[in-house]
Amino acid sequence: MPITKTLYLIRHAKSSWDDPSLSDFQRSLNDRGLKDSPSMAKLIKGKNIIPDLIISSPAVRAISTAEIFADELNYNRNKIVSDERIYEAAMRDLITTIREIKDENNTVVLFGHNPGLLNIANLLGNKFLPELPTCAVVGLSLKINSWNEVERNCGEVILFEYPKKSLKRSLN
């Protein structure tokens, strides 16, 4: 029976377009992003998700989101792995990044961007997700022994949360 690996894909929180002199890579989180990140991180913590490894795109908005989650999850910010391949990643680059994860890591959180994360979630998971809003979290339980075995349909979607969904729930 395969060991289950768990992969959480998290799209960076809402970013600011206020400063047109900044490159896409340099854009920071806006007020909504700074509000959504901690609340989504608390939601994840409430589900007892403890990452063995956090990997992030080095883009400012992604790494900032990763740091906010790391703080809430008691994960050392200095241990976040920044991987340039995640920024503007093609699906094959994301798959390669995932396949290179060391097998002692069973629960991995990857912070990145659309459309790459949405495409990977739909490639690996058993449910079609039409969109991946900012600061959304997709949890995938992968039926694999080793990260290098990641392939199409090897996972089951076990979590799909995003800020407006959790807001609706708290209002009811």
pLDDT digits (tens, 9 = 90+) for 5-64: 999 999 999 999 999 999 999 999 999 999 999 999 999 999 999 999 999 999 999 999
pLDDT digits (tens, 9 = 90+) for 66-85: 999 999 999 999 999 999 99
Q: Residue 172 — pLDDT band, cuts 50, 70, 90?
A: very low
Helix (H/G/I), strand (E/B), else coil: 61? helix
CATH number, position 163: 3.40.50.1240
Burial of 15 per CB tally in 10 Å (0-12, 13-18, 19+):
buried
Token output for 110: 């990857």
Host domain of residue 86: 4-171
pLDDT of residue 171: 46
How far apart are the C-alpha atoms of 166 and 89, rounded to whole Å?
28
pLDDT digits (tens, 9 = 90+) for 123-136: 999 999 999 999 99
Give the chain's domain count.
1
Section 105-117 average pLDDT: 97
Alpha helices in the chain (DSSP H): 31-46, 60-72, 91-99, 116-124, 163-171
